[in-house]
Amino acid sequence: MRHYLLIIVLFFLTCFFLLPLLNIEDPVRTISLSLWGEETQAKLVEHICKPDRTYWYVYTVKGKDYRQQYNGYVEKLDQQIEENSRCKGVLSNAPEIKITYFPLFSFWSEPVDHIEFSVIEKIMYILIKVIGILILLFTFFRR
């Protein structure tokens, strides 16, 4: 019994710490934002294009300020930025965007206009991540 409890704890530690270090979105975050996410307004404050498109946005939830980034090209977000300000770092005219955040961990957020996958693709990505973590854990922590 203790062995399986250790596996469960290590699974969540891997989701919350190892995957973000490897720049991989953890499956718990994906599920939480999809099912229980709430919308709010944010300001797009920075836009960087090297080596990949990165959008930095700030928002306030329950009196606390957050600054988050979103990686990947999103045409709808690019269109909200003035053409002469794109890819130049800090934006002087910060456009408003809608974001989705998870109320329990308000720092989990992403723009409403994000790279969207179909439901089947999203489920497949979640299953692949979960199975990959379990294979990793059971490889090193067998009885």
Neighbours of 33 (CB within 10 A): 20
pLDDT value of position 143: 64
Cβ proximity of 55 and 69 under 8 Å: yes
More confident residue, 125 or 96: 96
Q: Which residue, 80, 109, 84, is CA-closest to 95?
A: 80
State phi, psi for 116 to the nearest 5 degrees: -105, 135
Q: Say how many domains are in the chain.
A: 1
| Per-residue model confidence as pLDDT tens digits over 16-53 | 888 888 777 788 888 888 889 999 999 999 999 988 88
Cβ proximity of 96 and 41 under 8 Å: yes
Q: How many CA atoms lie within 13 A of 122 on its CB side?
A: 13
- Entry pTM: 0.78
| Residue span of the structural domain in which 90 resides | 2-140
State phi, psi for 93 to the nearest 5 degrees: -110, 95
